[in-house]
Chains A and B, each alone.
Chain A
Amino acid sequence: MEKKQCQCGHLNPPGTVLCEVCGRSLTEKEQKSKLVDMRYEGTARRSQTYNKSIIDKVWNFFSSVKVGVSLIVLLLVAAAIGTILPQKAYIPATTAEEIKAYYADVYGSVGRVYHFLGFHDMYSSFWFILLVGLLAISLIVASLDRFVPLYRSLKNQRVLRHISFMNKQRIFADGPGAEDTMQKAEEKLKELKYKVTTDKNGLLAEKGRFSRWGPYVNHIGLIIFLFGVMLRMMPGFYVDESLWLREGETRAIPEAPGYSLENKGFQMETYTGEDDEAVFNEAIDRVGSVAKNYQTDIVLYQKPEDSLPGAADLEKVKESSIRVNEPLKFDGYAIYQMDFRLDELKAMRFELTNKESEESLGELTIDLINPEKTYDLGNGAAVKLLGYYPDFSGFENGEPQTATPLPNNPGFLVEMTTPETPDGETSFITIKNTVEPFGENQYKLAFQAAETRDVSGLTIRKDRTLPILGLGGLIFMIGVAQGMYFNHRRFWIQQKADGEIILAGHTNKNWFGLKKDLDQVTEYASLPAYVDQQEEIEKAEKLESEEQS
């Protein structure tokens, strides 16, 4: 395509609608219309100019509002579909098989179809992410397509415009003026906080140009946000681990090298309805009980920097408590109170007794997390732990099995040796019963007591992208406010040699506000009365249609 030469002599880039210098209409369509289209100042937008190569076509596709809105709507619909049934992250199943079975069992054929289509994992599905990606591209392309020419044009504005530009503005005035009209208009416009530039017999008054950048600024904010989200996939930017910490335990914090955490105690409180809480009695009675606090008291330790590898020395960093809404923060990490298990079995105490005489040979306490191999009770009596099954779930091929490593239902395969039975007697003990696989024993381990403790479920997070996301959000909000709550108002005024005044006004929104400004200037500087040509056209159309009917 060729550059367009205007009658004024200026050479405009291909695709320009209104001459960059004088404002004359360069296209036939524009010449015929009653009002000029000022949306992008009549500049050449790439998408409206080229449509030859593949690149042009791709560019034009993404710069279209229609495509952008379609992508928004597709994303909106997909997001909504993902809420029809719970996402896989919220169901009590973990393996792929279990998840599939869960949807089929609980939701029947609907669930099966939902799972088959991949809607159970909508938001990490490749096509959902693709949609977000396409929208991001659309954001960038559409913004560049409009911003670049608009910026150029507004930066190089000329004061004097051709009459055909002026009289096709929505606000237009034409009439005799006094000698000091221009000077007075300038004074008043400056008083109204307009930036005024003059050139020969004309002036350009402008206010709030920055509001034109609003849409592009908020799009930049969104792109920064999406970029931050993308960064999370890079290693090192994002940590999400969980840690079950038993009361009294100290463990290394996963993904936080050098740090350890001790659980000094977990507490759960419910509202009592007493004293200050009496006002809540009715609600507490209705629902039974309401949780008030989940809290883990902790000590944070750090390995000193000069510590030798493998050494167990720890330095106390701080002692505090983690509550819901009050995570522990250190060194870019945050640890959250997320879950708990009350009264997990800690240890069990048994007594080795002679079944007949009920004579005791001593007691032993088995730690259910770190059991010992042998418990020597003295006087020749000992209990050997042949096998330990923390979460006993039954026998398979005669072998005892454990479902999980958690001591929910401990089972012990023990060999008891006493002076009377030096060869040892074997017994399999669970909480509910005792099996004696090799015939009747003389001795038994009688259960005495169990110790329990609570377990805190903690989540460890580190998210270095948060500042980026925050920045994106902030820029978005600034852009939205900039574009929505401010507007770009301009007046072009010229006085011809015979004293005649020509005036044109434009704003990107809020014409009411523009007219209010102009009324003041008109009164002060005795400008000719202006007309709102848009309203005139609408009135004329209305009259016409009424006459026809």
Chain B
Amino acid sequence: MSLTDLSGNLLYVAFFAYLIGAIVFGGAVKGNKERTSEGSFKSESRWGNIAFAITILGFLANLGYFFTRWGATGHAPLSNMFEFTTAFGMTLVAGFIVIYAIYKTPIVGMVVLPVALLIIAFASMFPSEVSPLIPALQSNWLAIHVSTVVLAEGVLAISAAAGLIYLLKVVDLNKKSKQRFWLEAIMYSLILVIGFVVASSYFSLTGYESEFAYVDKEGKNAEITYHMPAIFGMHQYEQLNEDKMTPLMETPAVVNAGKLTTVMWSLIVGTIIYWLIRLIARRRIAAIFKPFVKNVNLQLMDEIGYRAVIIGFPLFSLGALIFAMIWAQIAWSRFWGWDPKEVWALVTWLFYAAYLHLRLGKGWHGEKSAWLGVVGFAIIMFNLVAVNLIIAGLHSYA
């Protein structure tokens, strides 16, 4: 077995450990019927600790993946969409491990581990073979800058997880409200990620390929291979295989219809899954989680959410702005160039700066703070997904 294969297998181990860990955490939270004399729940702490041990094992395997891959390629595995996103899943779990060690909160594991699973599954939809570094990335700053950023984002995501738990408990799902709508929107968007993973896996397992010639925005002829049945056709497309689906509509040259098709399939499959779950459970997705958060200590969730920002914000400032500027000065001759990724790092930073000022200066605790935590995660995910895949820039390595 080569180092690369070993690395891949370790990632599988981590993935399944997280999966089992998530389920056991769920059981720990759900089964907490009897209180001990100290007021905590007996079965919760017992099963919680078992789940935690499984998570630690998974995390060790995950670290194993990371460093064996580093060994195989000779550079920190943080250089493309697959590697970065996988690392994001890993730092999210790392953040959780720290939080659990301090606060002993299985409910956080029940939320964080499935999200980490989604992120790793999302990552593996991108080309995952080890690839060499282009000249711009050949620097020690790759490891320094990107690892700090990914760690900061993992920690900040914990704030969103705590916020989500807080909201699941406090938002009244029996009354129609904006809060109820947006909470369900969060659950729906998480399921869309499943939609993307299912659609991508299905079409890649069946080996779907369909080729088109088209005219790009500079007016040049180009070719593209779709890996999903084409819903949208590229600008002035011409189908090259006859037996494949014909696009339903053509898009203008600035739109990448191939990516739009992927988005559309994720939406379709995700929506189907969403409604299937709703029909079977006969309630909102948020309502399914309601029983799990019954015994949540709201003050503790608020505290965890804030703690995560307190740790994540300085790390993010350091990694995504300061280290980023130093490297940009070395590699691109300017420390700042308003590249979309840079701008969105600034947007994220400004957002958390606003979070801190609202919390410390305006007393935005509890629910308001929880919503802000979730919005912060949405911004981070936007920067990761949309800015890499849709808005082209210097950072689009995937």
Q: Interface on A for B, CB 8 Å cutoff?
A: 65-66, 68-69, 72-73, 75-76, 79-80, 82-84, 86-87, 89-90, 92, 106-108, 122-123, 240, 271, 277, 279-280, 282-284, 286-287, 290-294, 323-325, 327, 334, 336, 338, 459, 461, 463, 466, 469, 473, 476-477, 480-481, 484-485
Contact = CB atoms under 8 A, between A and B. Distances in A.
B281 interface: no
8 contacts: A76-B346, A83-B344, A293-B135, A324-B138, A325-B330, A325-B331, A334-B333, A476-B317
Interface string B284-316: 000000000000000000000000001001100
B338 A290 contact: no
Given A83-B387, A89-B338, A286 B138 contact: no
A325 B136 contact: yes
B392 interface: yes
B354 A76 contact: yes
B4 A279 contact: yes
Nearest to B337: A89
In this complex, which of B130, B310, B354 has the most chain A Cβ atoms within 10 angstroms of its Cβ? B354
Contacts of B252: 108
B314 A484 contact: yes
Contact of A76 (B2, B131, B254, B350): B350
A79 B335 contact: no
Given A108-B252, A290-B134, A325-B138, A283 B129 contact: yes
Contacts of B131: 280, 283-284, 287, 290
B31 interface: no
Closest 6 CB pairs of A and B: A283-B131, A65-B361, A324-B135, A282-B129, A336-B333, A83-B340
Contacts of A325: 135-136, 138-139, 330-331
B47 to A, nearest CB: 27
B98 interface: no
A469 B132 contact: no
Interface of B is mostly: helix
B322 interface: yes
Nearest to A124: B338
A294 B350 contact: no
B150 to A, nearest CB: 19
Given A72-B357, A476-B317, A484-B314, A280 B132 contact: yes
B336 to A, nearest CB: 9
A89 B393 CA distance: 12
B31 to A, nearest CB: 28
A79 B347 contact: yes
Nearest to A82: B343
Contact of A69 (B321, B340, B354, B393): B354
A525 B361 CA distance: 37
B241 interface: no
Contacts of B50: none
A106 B130 contact: no
Nearest to B217: A106
A160 B218 CA distance: 78
B244 interface: no
Contact of A106 (B253, B313, B350, B357): B253
Interface in B119-135: 127, 129-132, 134-135
Interface in B308-364: 310, 313-314, 317-318, 321-322, 325, 329-335, 337-340, 343-344, 346-347, 350-351, 353-354, 357-358, 361-362
B80 to A, nearest CB: 9
Q: Pick the most buried of B334, B353, B393: most chain A CB atoms within 10 A of its CB.
A: B353
B134 A327 contact: no
A90 to B, nearest CB: 8
Given A73-B354, A76-B351, A123-B338, A481 B314 contact: yes
A485 B307 CA distance: 10
Contacts of A323: 135
A334 B332 CA distance: 11
B231 interface: no
A51 to B, nearest CB: 19
Contact of A459 (B73, B310, B321, B333): B333
B347 A65 contact: no
Given A83-B343, A107-B254, A283 B353 contact: no
Contact of B127 (A286, A327, A469): A286
A292 B329 contact: no
Contacts of A277: 132
Interface in B341-395: 343-344, 346-347, 350-351, 353-354, 357-358, 361-362, 387, 391-393
Contacts of B213: none
B99 interface: no
B254 A106 contact: yes
A72 B317 contact: no
A79 B346 contact: yes
A123 B335 CA distance: 15
Nearest to A70: B354
Contacts of B350: 72-73, 75-76, 79
B318 A477 contact: yes
Contacts of B335: 466, 469
A480 B347 CA distance: 18
B113 to A, nearest CB: 27
A280 B351 CA distance: 39
Contacts of A480: 313-314, 317
A73 B4 CA distance: 45
A23 B4 CA distance: 68
Contacts of A66: 362
B333 A69 contact: no
A92 B219 CA distance: 13
A271 B361 CA distance: 54
A334 B335 CA distance: 13
A283 B387 contact: no
B63 to A, nearest CB: 21
B330 to A, nearest CB: 6
A228 to B, nearest CB: 10
A284 B317 contact: no
A294 B339 CA distance: 22
B170 interface: no
Contact of A271 (B132, B139, B325, B358): B132
A332 to B, nearest CB: 14
Nearest to B348: A76
Contacts of B72: 279
B151 to A, nearest CB: 15
Nearest to A286: B127
B9 to A, nearest CB: 16
Given A106-B217, A106-B254, A327-B333, A76 B347 contact: yes
A461 B332 CA distance: 11
Nearest to B338: A123
Interface in B85-131: 127, 129-131
Contacts of B314: 477, 480-481, 484
Contacts of A92: 218
Nearest to B253: A106
A425 B1 CA distance: 75
Given A83-B340, A324-B138, A69 B358 contact: yes
A338 B343 contact: no
A86 B340 CA distance: 8
